[in-house]
């Protein structure tokens, strides 16, 4: 399949591009490089430096490339910033996606894979989280992703658009060959911050809350390897052959892992101490979030190769050790 990957220079998008190539597909990347990295995409892959706010430019790319499928990873994903600057999130996550879908439909492209998030569930009533639980986001970031899910639900019956939307839990790790990895500016994610603190390249890690109703008092999350996420996306392609098909999947391993367990894994893998101190809870952090991903397993035949935190951290460590400054472009 020829696949246009919007946000293909970002963390998850770039790993997906690599997996697409490995699976024999033809990826083409569209990215505005605001958060993405040119070096995260192999030079041989066609690259369109385009902003999804620019309708004419999207039209030009779709007319020139005529992809079979569009995968959409291009979004802003800082929860805190979405609270203080919601317009930025509605512009970039909702309006820009509307531009992309509008142009796709006008160019006869009707297969879509969308990056959604477990943040659409807000603070769920039950754990683990199944796709059937009510979605009540507690911040604008989660709301913008839910808005797009709803847009897709409206478009499928009206236009024949077929789509798979994946609700990610905590994407983590790096390519197994160490070639690409996680490099956010600013960085807010636990694993890169813990590794950076161990390397002496970042400040002491703050553990946000140790009084949660969890076994060790720190938050439980479901860390899922970025290559496993990517493989699930590709496994959904056959489902998109049916016009108007709508699919929603949670992607997580289902293994709850605490902040302290992540720190222990980083110490074990690196042989270094992670300087860390307890700090107050971070606003908006639910105590526990982990997936029931049975649906993706049964319908897509998806089995995450990485089931536990330590091998995930090993891949992240390899990348950060090789590239302590990340891509070095910010
Ligand atoms: N966390 C932490 N210190 C940090 C960053 C994150 O204790 O400097 C915790 C955070 O409270 C959450 C977990 O680590 O429980 C994962 O946070 P991250 O920001 O990586 O992902 P999120 O779960 O917010 O999507």
- Can you give the residue ranges of every domain in the chain? 2-172+224-251
3-state SS class at 167: strand
Complex ipTM > 0.95: yes
Tell me what the mean pLDDT of segment 190-200 comes to. Answer: 98
* Ligand 1 pocket test, candidate residues 167, 188, 252, 282, most atoms within 8 A of CB: 282
Q: Compute the Cα dihedral for 254, 137, 51, 249 and give only its sign.
A: positive
CA distance 88 to 310: 36
Question: pLDDT tens digit string along 43-70?
Answer: 999 999 999 999 999 999 999 999 999 9
Question: pLDDT tens digit string along 235-279?
Answer: 999 999 999 999 999 999 999 999 999 999 999 999 999 999 999
CA distance 34 to 31: 8
Tell me what the mean pLDDT of segment 104-112 comes to. Answer: 98
Catalogue the active-site residues: 141
Å from CA of 90 to ligand 1 middle: 23
Question: pLDDT tens digit string along 272-312?
Answer: 999 999 999 998 788 999 999 999 999 999 999 999 999 99
* Ligand 1 pocket test, candidate residues 202, 203, 259, most atoms within 8 A of CB: 259
2-172+224-251: in CATH 3.40.50.720: yes
Å from CA of 210 to ligand 1 middle: 12
Pick the closest to residue 16 from 284, 233, 272, 294 (CA basis).
233
110 φ, ψ (degrees, to nearest 5): -125, 25
């Amino acid at each position: 399949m020829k696949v246009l990957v919007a946000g293909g220079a970002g963390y998850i998008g770039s790993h997906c591009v690599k997996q697409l190539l490995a699976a024999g597909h033809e990826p083409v990347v569209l990215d505005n490089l605001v958060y993405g990295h040119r070096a995260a995409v192999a030079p041989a892959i066609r690259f369109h430096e385009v902003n999804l706010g620019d309708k004419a430019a999207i039209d030009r790319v779709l007319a020139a490339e005529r992809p079979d499928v569009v995968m959409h990873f291009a979004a802003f994903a800082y929860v805190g910033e979405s609270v203080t600057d919601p317009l930025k999130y509605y512009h970039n996550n909702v309006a820009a996606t509307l531009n992309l879908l509008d142009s796709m439909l006008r160019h006869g492209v009707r297969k879509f894979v969308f990056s959604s998030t477990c943040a659409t569930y807000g603070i769920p009533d039950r754990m683990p989280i199944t796709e059937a639980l009510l979605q009540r986001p507690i911040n604008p970031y989660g709301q913008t992703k839910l808005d797009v899910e709803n847009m897709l639900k409206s478009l499928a019956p009206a236009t024949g658009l077929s789509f798979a939307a994946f609700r990610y839990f905590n994407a983590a790790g790096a390519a197994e060959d160490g070639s690409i990895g996680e490099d956010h500016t600013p960085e807010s994610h636990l694993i890169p911050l813990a590794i950076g603190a161990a390397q002496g390249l970042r400040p002491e890690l703050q553990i946000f809350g140790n009084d949660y109703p969890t076994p060790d008092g720190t938050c439980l999350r479901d860390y899922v390897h970025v290559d496993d996420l990517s493989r699930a996306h590709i496994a959904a392609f056959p489902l998109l052959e049916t016009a108007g098909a709508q699919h929603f999947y949670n992607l997580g391993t289902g293994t709850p892992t605490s902040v302290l367990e992540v720190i222990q894994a980083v110490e074990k893998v690196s042989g270094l101490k992670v300087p860390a101190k307890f700090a107050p809870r971070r606003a908006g952090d639910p105590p526990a979030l982990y997936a029931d991903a049975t649906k993706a397993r049964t319908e897509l035949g998806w089995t995450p190769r990485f089931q536990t935190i330590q091998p995930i951290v090993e891949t992240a460590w390899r990348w950060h050790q090789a590239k302590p400054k990340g891509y070095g472009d910010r």
